[in-house]
Amino acid sequence: MSARGNTGTEMDDDADQEAFETLEKMLVGQGGETMVMENALRHIVTRITDEGLVIELFELEGIPLFEDGTDTPTQLLRDLSALISSTAKAVTNGIAIGGHVRATPIVLANSPVWDQSANRAAKMRELLEDSGIAPARIKRVTGHADRTPVLQDTMARRNNRIEVVLLRKTDRK
């Protein structure tokens, strides 16, 4: 995707940055087509980090990504994964997937949050691959349990989320 100059990684970083900004615009720009897609895009936020382009898919109250307490994707998540897949095909960068779940109100001896977050991340990998992403592009699939909430209320549904990261070319983790 990028040529190597004397400094190599600087040019890679510049090319990645440009590609990520373009992909971000592609994702956001896909909204005006239908009301269904407009509603689906309310579940996506993107940000460019040192790791790459993070595409965060999250639940809203009453509108889940997975059937409650399972790793069974809803139609919304299937639609969002197809959108991400079509956008991600524009580049060849590796992909990392992270699953996050909200905390449960009851402390259990055998908490399900680790398995649930890992299973949801694995399900997202399957959805991306089913939509045409080459399995070799998937570099990491991780379950983060309830350890990194985005809201102070650790039990908020917004903490149920999947992060798909298009990795920088120099990041092979």
Q: What pLDDT is stored for residue 33 in this prediction?
A: 53
pLDDT in tens, 76-126: 999 999 999 999 999 999 999 999 999 988 776 778 899 999 999 999 999
Q: What is the pTM of this model?
A: 0.84
For 9-167, CATH number out of 3.30.1330.60, 2.60.40.10, 3.30.720.120, 3.30.1540.10 equals 3.30.1330.60
Sheet holding 52-58, edge to edge: 44-48, 52-58, 161-167, 95-100, 138-143
Q: What pLDDT is stored for residue 136 in this prediction?
A: 98
Asked if residues 165 and 98 have their Cβ atoms less than 8 Å apart, the reply is yes
Residues of the chain with pLDDT under 50: 1-9, 11, 31-32, 171-172
Domain assignments of the chain as residue spans, ordered by start: 9-167
Q: What pLDDT is stored for residue 6 in this prediction?
A: 36
Rounded CA-CA distance 32/2 in Å is 32
Give the distance from CA 155 to its chain's centroid.
Answer: 20
By the 10 Å C-beta count (0-12 exposed, 13-18 middle, 19+ buried), 51 is classed as: middle
Q: What pLDDT is stored for residue 63 in this prediction?
A: 93
Q: What pLDDT is stored for residue 130 in this prediction?
A: 97
Closest CA to 169 of 21, 14, 34, 60: 14
Q: What pLDDT is stored for residue 41 in this prediction?
A: 82
Q: What pLDDT is stored for residue 22 in this prediction?
A: 81
Q: What pLDDT is stored for residue 155 in this prediction?
A: 93
Q: What pLDDT is stored for residue 21 in this prediction?
A: 84
